[in-house]
C-alpha cells in the first residue's frame, strides 16, 4: 500500500480511492496508518467546489468530461465515508455530495452503479429506487450491460451493475440478477478471465478473482 501511495499519490486519486474502500471489508489494525495517509491524499486532492478531477487513464474514457468528474467525485465520497474518524473526511465527503446534487444521471453504467452505492452507503436508500429503475432499463437482452447506454454488453460494466444492485439488499423483481450472472458466465473465457468491450473501444481480457453462481442455462 505504501508503494501505491508513493507511486500514485495525487496523480492517481481514483486508484487510491479504491484502496480506501476495502478498509471496512477486511479490517487490519496494522494498515490503519496507511489508510489515514490515503484519506489525507483524498481530502487534499479535492477541488474548491467539492468535485474531484479524473486522473490517470480516466480522462481518456469514452464519456463526457463532466460525467467523468462526477464518477470520480462519487467514488471519492464513498472512500471518505469509510473513515469518518479522520479529521476533515466527513466534511470533504459532504462537500462532494453537495457538488453532486445538481448532477443528472450519466450515460455510463458505472455512473449509475456508483450512484446506487452512494445511496446504499451514505444516503440511506433515499433515492435508490430511482437509480435502480434507470439501470434496469439499460439491461440488454442477453442479460448484460454496456459500458455506455446502448452499448454491447460488457463484463466490466455488467459486474459493476450486479454488485451495485446486490449491495442494496432490495429484492426488485424488475431487475433480473439471475440473467446478469448467466451473462457473466458466458463472458468468461477462463477461470477469472472475461472478454470485454473496453471503455476505449478496444477488446481485451479482464482478469480478476470472482465467485459466480452455479451454472445455469447457456
CATH number of the domain where residue 151 is located: 1.50.10.20
**Which pLDDT belongs to residue 78?**
95
User: 173 and 110 in one domain?
Assistant: yes
C-alpha–C-alpha distance, residues 218 and 203, integer Å: 22
Q: E-strand spans in the chain?
A: 145-146, 153-154, 188-190, 193-197, 203-207
Determine the 3-state secondary structure of 63 from DSSP: coil
- Give the residue ranges of the chain where pLDDT is below 70: 1-11, 171-175, 197-218
Contacts of 53 (CB under 8 A, 6+ apart): 47, 69, 72
C-alpha–C-alpha distance, residues 194 and 114, integer Å: 21
**Which pLDDT belongs to residue 70?**
97
Q: Do the beta carbons of residue 93 and residue 80 sit within 8 Å?
A: yes
**Which pLDDT belongs to residue 173?**
56
| End-of-domain residue from the set 46, 77, 104 | 104
| End-of-domain residue from the set 60, 88, 104 | 104
C-alpha–C-alpha distance, residues 93 and 194, integer Å: 34
pTM (predicted TM-score): 0.84
Nearest to 196 by CA among 133, 109, 105, 123: 109
Q: How many CB atoms lie within 10 A of CB 80?
A: 27
| End-of-domain residue from the set 71, 104, 137 | 104
Domain that holds residue 41: 1-104
The DSSP-derived string for 8-31 is TGGGGHHHHHHHHHTTTTS--GGG
Count of structural domains, the chain: 2
Nearest to 196 by CA among 165, 156, 137: 156
Nearest to 90 by CA among 39, 133, 49, 25: 39
pLDDT in tens, 11-68: 678 888 888 888 888 788 888 888 898 899 899 999 999 999 998 777 778 889 999 9
Nearest to 188 by CA among 161, 215, 165: 215
Radius of gyration of the chain (CA): 17
Please report which helix (H) or strand (E) contains residue 35, including its range: helix 32-44
Amino acid at each position: 500500500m505504501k508503494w501505491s501511495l508513493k507511486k500514485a499519490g495525487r496523480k492517481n486519486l481514483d486508484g487510491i480511492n479504491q484502496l480506501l474502500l476495502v478498509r471496512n471489508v477486511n479490517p487490519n489494525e496494522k494498515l490503519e496508518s496507511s489508510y489515514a495517509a490515503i484519506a489525507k491524499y483524498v481530502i487534499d486532492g479535492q477541488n474548491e467546489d467539492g468535485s474531484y478531477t479524473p486522473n490517470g487513464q480516466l480522462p481518456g474514457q469514452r464519456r463526457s468530461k463532466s460525467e467523468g468528474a462526477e464518477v470520480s467525485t462519487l467514488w471519492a465520497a464513498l472512500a471518505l465515508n469509510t473513515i469518518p474518524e479522520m479529521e476533515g473526511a466527513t466534511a470533504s465527503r459532504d462537500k462532494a455530495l453537495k457538488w453532486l446534487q445538481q448532477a443528472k444521471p450519466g450515460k455510463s453504467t458505472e455512473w449509475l452503479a456508483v450512484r446506487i452505492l452512494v445511496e446504499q452507503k451514505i444516503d440511506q436508500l433515499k433515492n435508490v429506487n430511482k437509480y435502480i429503475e434507470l439501470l434496469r432499463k439499460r439491461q440488454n437482452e442477453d442479460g448484460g450491460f454496456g459500458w455506455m447506454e446502448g452499448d454491447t454488453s460488457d463484463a466490466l460494466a455488467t459486474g459493476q451493475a450486479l454488485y451495485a444492485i446486490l449491495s442494496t439488499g432490495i429484492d426488485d423483481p424488475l431487475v433480473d440478477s439471475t440473467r446478469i450472472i448467466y451473462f457473466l458466465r458466458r463472458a468468461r473465457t477462463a477461470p477469472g478471465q472475461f472478454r470485454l468491450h473496453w471503455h476505449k473501444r478496444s477488446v481485451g481480457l479482464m482478469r480478476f478473482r470472482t465467485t459466480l453462481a452455479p451454472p445455469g442455462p447457456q
